[in-house]
Structure 1
Amino acid sequence: MEEQLLAEMKAFVAELERKEAAAVYAVPEEAFKAIRRAKTLEKFLHDIFAQAGGSGGIRLLPYIRREFGIDAEAIERFDRWAPYAKDRFEEALHEAVDRADIRAGNQGVFFAGTPSKKEAEEALRLLRDVAHAAIEIQFAAGRASPERYVAILDAQLRFYALPSTYQAGTEADYRSLIAADRLAAFAGGDETAAQALRHYARAWYQESGHAFLESREGYFDYTDVPKYLYALTGEQVARLRGDYVRYAEEQFRLLRTKPDLARGRALIAMLEQALRWQPL
């Protein structure tokens, strides 16, 4: 009797699971009304920009739910929304982004100083570009074109370069943004997208006039160097390697005057890795 009860329960639950998996859902009309009412969206733009600069890929659903008051259950079923509902919802989000503005009192979210009108307009355009590309990636469900990832990186680099924006566009900001492991994580496991990002970042660095990847002072630790070899030419790698070799020579002279076993081992590890660095 117990076995029969268990079998009936399993069959019943399995049927519920089958129906749930096969179901498609509409989006509540209130969600579209909320999106149509949205105008400023500073926090939404900021959250998308910040996420796109991190290592977690593109996952906008929590921001969409918060910004537009979407029901949690509806968001949880995002993967099973009816195709027409997804298309309509994505279009509504793009329209909202096109209407987005940065109010004068909220400029501190994006600017460390006071921007000119021209800079503020350019920054807003770049923030919208990031948001549009991120929305496309979110709704493409893993099938987004690598060009959309590159569009985000391009807009971020241009945003950093503006005179008053935050991030300030320091060498540390750029280094964090173009690290190979960061780009791979941002691409969410899509190697084609990660490769496109590395290709773009290398071209940007080579054309930028920067040289912060070519000297020891540009790195917190020598173990970080492999993250950036993809962006360097053979001559630049040789220059960087030579800088570390000279540093090792200087430190070895000091080590001879004051022997320290741990320091000696650390210098050997650094030099061995530096001698292995090759352009990718």
Structure 2
Amino acid sequence: MTGTETGMPGIEMRAVSFARGERRILDDVTARAPAGRFTGVIGPNGSGKSTLLSMVMRWQRPDAGQVLLGGTDVRELGRREFARTVAELEQHSATVLELSVEQIVELGTIPHAGGWARPLGDAAHEAHQAIGTLGIEHLRHRTWQTLSGGERQKVQMARALAQRPKVLVLDEPTNHLDVAAGLHLLQLARDLGLTVLAALHDLQLAAMYCDHLVVLDEGRVRAQGSASEVLTPELLADVYGLDAQVLRHPVTGGPLIVMCGVVSATGGEK
């Protein structure tokens, strides 16, 4: 597996298609997540965002096409090598085990241990660092079942960081988080310098934090590029049915989306 001079591999989807029964969820998707950059996958509900991420994570196999990680098909990577390279923050996580937060975060160190059943000797240190990064020291002895949705999201992010990945895959990472916590998590993900691939619903957050965007609509790529290139009034109307203006953000200089209404089929507002 090859990467860049930064040591971070990029992700490339080549003509990826996937169907369930008669419904085609991904249709000839060709897109990329540049190495060491934050890539957002955006699109309406049902556009295929989570399915595309599941192809990267090897939870599902494409009917056609390839997903490459650093130039190597993800299916050709050994389980240990893949786990040492890629960590995931899922949209929904659950466990029936009575594990403490500290124990859950320590699970992230397993791919780097001598064996899958034997954690690293410094697993507690790795977990402590990840817990500190997320600011959840006060939760370390709490069990999963006692946590709120937002607390669980932070714990899973800490577990992903304890995995010491080069690639971070995030499926709706701000789910269950309040505004400040969501901003903190996305800023953290961007500052890590990893290759980040995130499915996002919030267009303004995508504009603020993503270096590269891939727009899906009905399983097809409608656009990809920087936020300034992609987030145009025409695309927002065509893909989302939004009447919106795109201004220049006074602080970041990036696009600032101002929602004006919903475009009807006849071109007026609903």
| Band the TM-score falls in, shorter-chain normalisation | 0.3 to 0.5
Q: Which structure exhibits the higher relative contact order, with contacts defined as CA atoms closer than 8 Å and separated by 6 or more residues? A: 2
Q: Which has the higher helix share?
A: 1
Task: Name the larger-Rg structure.
Answer: 1
Instruction: Give TM-score, length-normalised by structure 1.
Output: 0.31
**Between structures 1 and 2, the one with greater strand share:** 2
